[in-house]
Structure 1
Amino acid sequence: MKKLFILLVLAYFIIFFHIDYARGQTYEDKYNLNFRIVNNIFHGWTFDANNSDIRFNTDTTDINKPIKFLQTERWGFREKMNLNMYSSKNILLPTLSDSLLKVKIFYKSNNIKSGKLFVYSLNKRMEISRTDSICLQNNDNFREDSLEMKSKDTRFLFFRLQVVGIDSTYTENKISKIKTTIPHEFSINRIELEIGRRNVNSLPFEDITALNLDNAKILTLPPDILLTEKQLSRIFGKITALGETVHGSEKIGWATTEIIKSSVLNNHTNLILFEQPLLMMLFFNKYIQGSDAIDDSLIEELAKMIIGEAEPIIELTKWLREYNKTAREKVNLGGMDCQYEKNELALFLKDYLRIINKEAHSSAVDSIISVLDISDVEKIKNMAKTTLHIIEKKRQELTCVLGKDMDFIAFYLNNLIEAEVTNKNSYYERDWRMFKNTSFFTDYLCKPNQTVVISCHFGHANYQNINIPFYKSFGYYMKKKYGNDYVCVAQTVYQDTVKAQVNKELERKMLPLPSSNSLEAVFSKSGVKYGYIDAKEMDEIVKLRMQGSHHISTSEMEKYINPRSQVQGVIFINQ
């Protein structure tokens, strides 16, 4: 009995202090507005993929131990600082009165050419309502600069910090001129938010309340049989994007496969697009059209390149091949993605043409293959122009060999030539490219009575950009062109293992459990194993778990959305 009493007391203290900590967490703690490194990790902020090579450490010149950003030095060379950093999520503010919101930044900098803190005010619809910025100056000592903006209708803030170092100098060397730069340094102590005389940073964090779910509003879906035409009509539009909130989820992957089969059989779907490279998916489409040049083993090998589960897409591809054997109008399977800087011409197109030409023995195809050997990113455009010139010169012969694929390849080449291609990451240009690819395939392949199903990440598919509000999502462009014909349906899962990148390697990881007020947690308590709920039946602001190709912790992966302005509805999986 005494041991039991001690255990109960210990449990009480553990629970008490856990709850007390949760209640006591401030906005400063939640969003790292004081810019501290904790356990050697700088959390709460995201670095742009195209930054110069930058390192950070604790600035020991100040008792508050702020963070200092500076260039990485290698062999005496420092690259010019180009720092772009974002708050990793929209900052949910406490309920504000209609007064001025003051944003203050405490910082110092050295050898900076330009610097700005951009402040974006978002309303409850997650739309940018106001934008302002603070110009940052060189100063050896910490200084304070600020701005004031109206807080009316403000529900979220988003920050972007941009710092550029002064221009480089050149030093004479016996061999050549060597580009060198003097140290560029930027230290930031904190960003402080004030409403009237209230310091928001130190206020207890106020999260949203959990959705009060009415089970009568849920459309229960069968987990083991295909969806009917009536069920699909409740969920789908003419062009439907199934937006997976978590890349690499096995449960979402299999659910997507079964939904697509249902739509092919019961919803006149003749075009399916995946968030995969356009040129890679030429192999898959050729396979489902019945070509013997592409065999099962090649499809299985290519599927392993996909971040996520290979089995669902392999099973779907084989099913579509069988379906097309007797279909009056064959289904097409394509890719909506492209990243030109990865040289997809050499990575995919060269091998594809080699395989097709084993039987065709076309000299025109051989001419293209001979061009596709350049690995230098700077020369990709020249390679594309040469390839396009061959296509224009020998179009008739190539059409006989490649059929519709020739038009797909020419479309890709023209877009590549028009695009800016660099060694840098083009993540935020991808949404525009995805839209152009999807629009092309839809207009080229679909008749008025036919429908399209797209499988991609929810961050792309929804009608706004969830991560960085001033960029446009793929779904934004689709909605603008196709209006009500385009719908996004989010797909969530409560518990699952996922394939994700960890230190550049794909590993299977267990998804951390979501917080108790997230959509996933609310759905898990509904008793419904597999279902759909329309956006109009949800609150104005909800929270859900989002993960891309890289594994991240729970605190960083939950995002706020406004369902009524961003999605048609949500499919949830609890089984």
Structure 2
Amino acid sequence: MFDKEIVRYLYLLLILTGLNNSVFAQQSTDKYNLFFSYNKESDFIWHKGDKLLMRIDSTALVNDKYPLCIEQSPSIHKFLHASPLLVLFFQDFLIPDDIDNEARFILYAKTKNLATCMLKGIRIGKNEDVIGQDSVMINHEDWSADTLRLSLEKTKRLLVGIFAVGTEDSLKRNDAMEAIQGPAQKLWLDRMEILADGQDISHKFMSTLTCSDKLLDDYITPLDTVDLYQNISISEGKKVVALGESVHGSSTIEYYKYELIKKLILENKCRLVLLESPITYTPYWNLLIQGKLPEEKLRKTIVQWQIMSGNFNGDQMTDFFLWLREFNLKASENDKVYIAGNVDATFPELVFNPLYETICVYHGQLNNQSSTISNESDKDIIYSLMRLLAGKMQAEEALIYMEKNICHLKNVMGSLNYDIFYYTLSRRVFLDTLKTSEQVLRNFQSRDYFMFQNSQWFMQHCLADDCIAAVSAHWGHTDKKNTSNIYPYIYSMGYYFQKYYGDSYFNIGFTVGIGEILSLADSDISQLKYPIDNSLEKGCMEKNFLCFYYYDPKRNSLRMPCRYTGNGYALSEFSYQGDISMRTDAFIFIRESKVSPEQRAVILHKGLKSY
């Protein structure tokens, strides 16, 4: 069981660092011969994950070319099984205005030991809306052509992708307990024919788009570098204000986001802060900001968190939590701020188990009280719950135990803290239902829907009707449309918020021009290249402000590429290509991103003694 837990966690890390690079990040050069278009004069580059193990299969020519072979990466240790093969390619194609009949995608391929392999097309219409989609499964060990047909009626662009997952390993071992690797998992790809009304459109992908849209000076508000947001305000009537970063790993963006959340708390009655973080930390974090643990515990916890998560913005997070703690200690019971992670995920609980640590806090409080019959009964119940959560967690048994002892536990924890803990534990039980790597992957792909559902639960239980919530995540998650970057999953958390709250959902993007960021995938400090021509960041750089807020109430078109980088960064970064005015209400531009000394120390594994 321990081995399965480690394998599952390592596979989740592979997804976070490998798949995330393709989801939010890089556009690769053709060093792996990714030009597999039939039209030799109009080859294109796929957006892809950089962790793919690819080679040219020179054993036989196919259509006068050597095909591309994508293979399962080998195990990183003899005692661990190799993670299943994960393949993700996608590209956007522009549809000419005079074409509205049918698109055909013809892919010549073969597979070996794959659980899933599909060719999928998604139709994007006016205002970045999804108007249709379809897919065809690819599952044959001999070369064969698979064809996908899609109507082009009212279609402005097509998102086309190839998605594949290998079979689950058998998890068998030899007498020395070394992992016996399963059969090889492979996907061979020849070239792909992309036709619209019989015309080859393989060269009309989105990065060829040239647009005359410009930033309008009337909607630019320079920010005060001393009091950042004194010149701007968020209009009334908003229920959810989202803050989405275009790149992970910028401590400067983190600082700007936390400062805006403080303003929302002080001026807009924001009483719930939702973070793109594992939900299992929620109960413990709330004890920290409620002042029920000493300050040094808060600092240590965030250092542990940032090391395990790869979140190297721990210094900004610490300062923000300390600010929340001070605010809550002065606030009335009905005016306190709550905080929650909204991602169904956890980190290795043998290193730090936040659910267990939360119950330990309550046990310690009971031990410090005078002994009574009621007190001793509460201590026994809390201790029994601790045992269920310790070591190899028995999450489902712990949930049932909480239900049986609800009155005692609410008396000890408080009604709302009990509800938060119970819901969080129920999501932890859900994670235990994900037995295979493919199930973990599917959950990861659909995480935006669950991020929305989890956010909704916290809003319904922690927010008064006249209060608002702030959501901090990647711009891809807060995006109101998000129809181009998480293939084959389409809709973002922001899409669901927009659908549910309408104009009461307000999305603010954060992006940077130049400077440095921390790359989780590479565990390194990366330099951002100068923004590409015609991009949002290039247009912002030309305005010669250190930072500014852009809000256009008329929603004039801003069809231009902008940065879209997740947990990894490459010089050939992936850019969002749609209409920015459709995906966000406003954005904040920061000219230069910097790495703080504390962050630099963490990534170099130094300087942690100060915590």
The residue number in structure 1 matching 2:55 is 57
Gaps of 5+ in 1: 1-26, 37-41
**Residues 244 and 331 of structure 1: CA distance in aligned 2, closer, same or farther (over 3 Å):** farther
Q: Which gives a bigger RCO, structure 1 or 2 (Cα 8 Å, sep 6+)? A: 2
The residue number in structure 1 matching 2:403 is 392
Distance 1:564 1:292 in 2: 44
Q: Is the contact made by 2:560 and 2:577 (CA closer than 8 Å) also made in structure 1?
A: yes
Encode CA deviations 1:507-533: one digit per residue, 9 max, x unaligned.
Answer: 322223321211111111123332222
Cα drift, residue 215 of structure 1: 0.5
Q: Which residue identity lines up with residue 414 of structure 1 in the other structure?
A: S
The residue number in structure 2 matching 1:532 is 550
**Residues 103 and 410 of structure 1: CA distance in aligned 2, closer, same or farther (over 3 Å):** same
Cα drift, residue 266 of structure 1: 1.3
**Residues 415 and 322 of structure 1: CA distance in aligned 2, closer, same or farther (over 3 Å):** closer
SS of corresponding position for 1:499: strand
SS of corresponding position for 1:308: coil
The residue number in structure 1 matching 2:446 is 429
The residue number in structure 1 matching 2:517 is 498
Q: Is the contact made by 1:102 and 1:194 (CA closer than 8 Å) also made in structure 2?
A: yes
Given candidates 219, 222, 225, the residue that maps to 1:223 is 225
The residue number in structure 1 matching 2:566 is 548
Cα drift, residue 386 of structure 1: 1.6
Q: Which residue identity lines up with residue 360 of structure 1 in the other structure?
A: L
**Residues 163 and 247 of structure 1: CA distance in aligned 2, closer, same or farther (over 3 Å):** closer
Distance 2:269 2:165 in 1: 53
Q: Within 5 Å, which residues of 2 pair with 1:237-248?
A: 237-248=238-249
**Residues 187 and 495 of structure 1: CA distance in aligned 2, closer, same or farther (over 3 Å):** same
The residue number in structure 2 matching 1:349 is 355
* Alignment pair present for 1:313 and 2:311: no
The residue number in structure 2 matching 1:129 is 131
* Alignment pair present for 1:269 and 2:270: yes
Cα drift, residue 164 of structure 1: 7.6
Greater Cα radius of gyration, structure 1 or 2? 1
Given candidates 456, 472, 481, the residue that maps to 2:500 is 481
Q: Which residue identity lines up with residue 401 of structure 2 in the other structure?
A: I
Q: Which residue identity lines up with residue 462 of structure 2 in the other structure?
A: L
Distance 1:73 1:30 in 2: 18
**Residues 216 and 350 of structure 1: CA distance in aligned 2, closer, same or farther (over 3 Å):** same
Distance 2:182 2:390 in 1: 36
SS of corresponding position for 1:237: coil
Distance 2:460 2:112 in 1: 53
**Residues 161 and 525 of structure 1: CA distance in aligned 2, closer, same or farther (over 3 Å):** same
Cα drift, residue 252 of structure 1: 0.8
* Alignment pair present for 1:324 and 2:296: no
Q: Which residue identity lines up with residue 285 of structure 1 in the other structure?
A: N
The residue number in structure 2 matching 1:519 is 536
SS of corresponding position for 1:455: strand
Given candidates 101, 104, 116, the residue that maps to 2:103 is 101
| Identity fraction in percent | 21
Q: Which residue identity lines up with residue 406 of structure 2 in the other structure?
A: R
Q: Name whichever structure is richer in strand by fraction.
A: 1
Q: Within 5 Å, which residues of 2 pair with 1:29-428?
A: 32-34=34-36, 44-46=46-48, 55-60=53-58, 61-62=60-61, 63-70=64-71, 85-93=87-95, 97-108=99-110, 116-134=118-136, 136=138, 138=140, 140=142, 143-162=144-163, 185-196=186-197, 198-201=199-202, 206-209=208-211, 211-225=213-227, 227-228=229-230, 231-234=232-235, 237-293=238-294, 295=296, 296-302=298-304, 304-305=306-307, 307-328=311-332, 329-340=334-345, 342=347, 347-361=353-367, 362-375=379-392, 383-403=394-414, 404-418=416-430, 420-422=433-435, 423=437, 424-425=440-441, 426-428=443-445
Q: Which residue identity lines up with residue 357 of structure 1 in the other structure?
A: H
SS of corresponding position for 1:159: strand
Q: TM-score, normalised by structure 2?
A: 0.74
Q: Is the contact made by 2:34 and 2:46 (CA closer than 8 Å) also made in structure 1?
A: yes
Query: How much is the aligned-residue C-alpha RMSD, in angstroms?
Result: 4.1
Cα drift, residue 255 of structure 1: 0.6
Cα drift, residue 144 of structure 1: 4.1
Q: Which residue identity lines up with residue 227 of structure 1 in the other structure?
A: Y
**Residues 86 and 535 of structure 1: CA distance in aligned 2, closer, same or farther (over 3 Å):** farther
Distance 1:560 1:30 in 2: 24
**Residues 538 and 201 of structure 1: CA distance in aligned 2, closer, same or farther (over 3 Å):** same
Cα drift, residue 225 of structure 1: 0.9
SS of corresponding position for 1:421: coil
Q: Which residue identity lines up with residue 534 of structure 1 in the other structure?
A: D
Q: Is the contact made by 1:47 and 1:84 (CA closer than 8 Å) also made in structure 2?
A: no
Q: Which deviates more, 267-276 or 121-130? A: 121-130
| Residue-pair matches, total | 526
**Residues 371 and 108 of structure 1: CA distance in aligned 2, closer, same or farther (over 3 Å):** closer
SS of corresponding position for 1:97: coil
**Residues 298 and 149 of structure 1: CA distance in aligned 2, closer, same or farther (over 3 Å):** closer
SS of corresponding position for 2:127: coil
Q: Is the contact made by 1:249 and 1:496 (CA closer than 8 Å) also made in structure 2?
A: no
Distance 1:334 1:153 in 2: 43
SS of corresponding position for 2:588: strand
Cα drift, residue 253 of structure 1: 0.8
Distance 1:174 1:312 in 2: 49
Q: TM-score, normalised by structure 1?
A: 0.78
